[in-house]
Structure 1
């Protein structure tokens, strides 16, 4: 049978570092109320009392359900008074036979009740006279010695290889005998380590801001696809969004079969989980209860989305044309425009997630001549438009460099060799796959020939005119290729001839005025700030909680 445990919350009214600190609201309640609530939520604490010299703090204690308010005498309420006699006094004012005393200072509001329970169980199992809650504070420290300084580290080494140093936070567990003697910590205490976030100890305004930020953190589970059929665009978008979510926690989820997604997530160092199927993924989100689930997996079904909604998550989908889209909280689709959109849809180029490499690249401010043409159809290039475009340009008489960037799923290399071998000396062909930076290639290009996907927006962000060909009917519905005057859309792959491509390129090369009009049209589109709009949609009214 566990011993009786008394939790004492000491809260003075005269704090000076942050005036009226214990009364100020952190999140949705006064600072002192966090310690009270956590103590009462513990499964092991038997009684929670508040010791204070302040009537307002006492009232807050009663409002949040403390079992007793102890009026602290004036001689124990000064700045110089240590905590041990305060705890001894409060312990002496309480009826009951308590074996252990939990001193829970309000300055550590993020300590969880589960941590309190685990620490108390550890105390019972090992029977120490005291236990101190700590957080890791391992760094290189120096101290002043006379007129010089010396390092406290024995050897200069990376932090992860140093002997750990621990910092006390404001939570202690003491045996009653220590408390009666006017002490909190014995000669050989045990330690309970909490995370950096849970161990935030508020002494300054900066600490307060940090704690407030931690309280507002949400858990986002971001499900992505990425294989030879779908390419890497979905996972790149997820990583880009994650790069802008410092204020929240994000965990990626993908199926074991999504090899390209797994490779990119592994490179990114973001936390990710692999799942065998949808059932195992739903089991995971049911257990973790995320605040938001993002589905970057194309079309969804109704049952799947309803299941996510039942666990209380906000559900946000990308490019979802399935039946589940109707039931999501929001659907973001930069590739589509609507004349009569559903209420939960956010669409168009303003909601494009531009990767960081393009955000920091240099847009074209003029295109006086066409010397380098970039050709990139991404993914698997299902219609081998790369080969068709190369054949079309093999008869161009201008001096050109052709920069071919193949998608990771492209496997038709052999079809390109005879075409390239037939080129005349006035055309130089460079073929690459899995390039380091698409932005660098676009910066050097004077024209891009591509399909009607995300690459259109990336080119648009750099004011690079585009000739586009839709791979399929779905791509043909992407309106940016039709509504932007910076993009010349030739239509769907099966209906576009090599002559169509050759004529379009020749006209572009010959007409500088046309090139400039296309470049200026792209410069008028605000694509760069789409990430901020996407963030506001992902969290919706959650940030107002």
Structure 2
């Protein structure tokens, strides 16, 4: 006697949509999808479909599974076991257990079937039923009024509803008259049963979802800009499943992404490619600066398409698309997109109030990114604070979530005793911090684009040489570039600040920024990413037998 078999009920008369079982859902009919799932668990000789349809019988024959056809067959109750009792009784002479797999739950996978089987066998139960949990307040009708169905129900109740996707039962129970012990198997998000066109539409869209994995890096030495951009782009992709992989040293990135409730995997001792491929991605978005050849070749060998940001490493040639918004020294091609046309502006800036021109500087913004590892903020503050105090200029000091000098800065501000200095740490509304600012002092990262959008001329001090190569932060776009922080003296910073307080030069910078427009860029970049993902999906569809 064999251990188990699978039965697929496929009765066309019970369909809620005309020809539901043989209509293609995301390119595959419901009955074929159920057969593929069953064949991934058992050989065809142990799979049998119960049907009333000659067409479905032919599909079964061609798919290499058995079928039992009765043209008069129709189920009249929800008790699927009772409806199939004759077939199950026949199978009981050859199998110990039966798995009833419903074609009307297309989100069910062979992994679910095997996992349910393992739970069933480990528990020693006599049957297993797939259920989903729902929180509901349950009412009943008495006349024309509602009343609580459960007398003690004051709040929502957790109810278990049968999903009718999968049933496993011990066949020896059929002749004993008892039901034995039944255990639940929770499907929840995969428990959608097609009972109408709305369910069909939902299932089709869910089956067409692909897995997009963002690979990011973020720690004090490189800042958090890669993480912020990846989160912004992930927020725009609603039709597909999103996961994040953080590189081994990116503890700050893990903390930041965890607040957004995305799935996160942090690289362990294994190679980064192993971590990424373990998630079985359809598209990988690399925002980790330069990639190496070995990493990118492993992804390519697995058939994974990649979109890379700010990648000038040897692995960039293996990416399907490279977006280098911060670098303007190359011409854009189909595969390489460079320059400010591809800078993605966060949504909070779209509705922000862009600054009007004011002759006198009333407010200065100082910000050096998400980490500011070397505390450039404090150095710059100490240089310009006496000038601001003398001219009655307010100072907004803004530090990111990775700023490790917060306590020292707060103590320093208390010693300065300047009531016109405000300090914001880990703000989620950077656009608010920029509104009303007349001048800024900042690093050479993505902040300069946001300042340009807000029409705030700035003095720019790069954290390091790579950042200094971001050539957007130059006078043609409204910025006075001072150089790399370590190589610029205090006197030069002070003199540049004094020069920028004068209206003539600052007015020219403001007017250049007023001509810039980044508002359509994010949609452009997301569309390019979606095109790459669609290429991969089309290639998979052509390869499907």
TM-score, with structure 1 as normaliser: 0.83
- 317, 325, 330: which one pairs with 1:326? 317
Indicate how the Cα distance of structure 1 residues 414 and 111 shifts in structure 2: closer, same or farther if over 3 A, else same: closer
Please list every run of 5 or more consecutive structure 1 residues that lacks an aligned counterpart in the other structure: none
Aligned positions of 1:484-523 closer than 5 A: 485-493=477-485, 494=487, 497-498=492-493, 501-507=496-502, 509-510=503-504, 514=508, 517-523=511-517
Aligned counterpart, 1:307: 298
Aligned counterpart, 1:138: 135
Q: Distance in 1 between matches of 2:106 and 2:251?
A: 42
Q: Distance in 1 between matches of 2:124 and 2:493?
A: 83
- 70, 87, 103: which one pairs with 2:100? 103
Q: Distance in 2 between matches of 1:540 and 1:480?
A: 32
Indicate how the Cα distance of structure 1 residues 534 and 524 shifts in structure 2: closer, same or farther if over 3 A, else same: closer
Q: Is the 8 A contact 1:464 1:522 kept in 2?
A: no
Aligned counterpart, 2:425: 433
- 229, 235, 251: which one pairs with 1:243? 235
Please list every run of 5 or more consecutive structure 2 residues that lacks an aligned counterpart in the other structure: none
Q: Is the 8 A contact 1:486 1:521 kept in 2?
A: no
What SS is found at the alignment partner of 1:173? strand
Aligned positions of 1:77-88 closer than 5 A: 77=74, 83=80, 87-88=84-85
Equivalenced residues, count: 531
Which has the higher mean CA deviation after the structures are superposed, 522-531 or 98-107? 522-531
What SS is found at the alignment partner of 1:529? helix
Indicate how the Cα distance of structure 1 residues 229 and 295 shifts in structure 2: closer, same or farther if over 3 A, else same: same
CA drift at 1:454: 0.7
Aligned counterpart, 1:206: 198
**Once the two structures are superposed, what CA deviation does each residue of 1:230-284 show, in whole Å capped at 9, x if it has no partner?**
222222223223333333333323245433223213333333233344x254443
Q: Distance in 1 between matches of 2:243 and 2:114?
A: 27
Indicate how the Cα distance of structure 1 residues 173 and 468 shifts in structure 2: closer, same or farther if over 3 A, else same: same
- 241, 257, 261: which one pairs with 2:253? 261
**Once the two structures are superposed, what CA deviation does each residue of 1:335-360 show, in whole Å capped at 9, x if it has no partner?**
1234435653233334334344334x
- 224, 229, 233: which one pairs with 2:221? 229
Aligned counterpart, 2:349: 358
Aligned counterpart, 2:530: 536
Q: Is the 8 A contact 1:363 1:464 kept in 2?
A: no
Q: Distance in 2 between matches of 1:478 and 1:522?
A: 17
Q: Distance in 2 between matches of 1:418 and 1:132?
A: 64
Which has the higher mean CA deviation after the structures are superposed, 203-212 or 92-101? 92-101
Q: Is the 8 A contact 2:44 2:64 kept in 1?
A: no
Q: Distance in 1 between matches of 2:435 and 2:199?
A: 44
Q: Distance in 1 between matches of 2:123 and 2:191?
A: 23
Indicate how the Cα distance of structure 1 residues 495 and 11 shifts in structure 2: closer, same or farther if over 3 A, else same: same
**Once the two structures are superposed, what CA deviation does each residue of 1:188-237 show, in whole Å capped at 9, x if it has no partner?**
45234233232221112221222122222333333322222122222222
Q: Is the 8 A contact 1:354 1:531 kept in 2?
A: no
Aligned counterpart, 2:114: 117
Q: Distance in 2 between matches of 1:319 and 1:235?
A: 13
TM-score, with structure 2 as normaliser: 0.83
Q: Distance in 1 between matches of 2:165 and 2:377?
A: 65
Q: Distance in 2 between matches of 1:138 and 1:419?
A: 51
Aligned counterpart, 1:71: 69
What SS is found at the alignment partner of 1:260? helix
CA drift at 1:107: 0.7
Q: Distance in 2 between matches of 1:273 and 1:373?
A: 40
Aligned counterpart, 2:12: 12
Q: Is the 8 A contact 2:457 2:509 kept in 1?
A: yes
Matched, 1:39 2:30: no
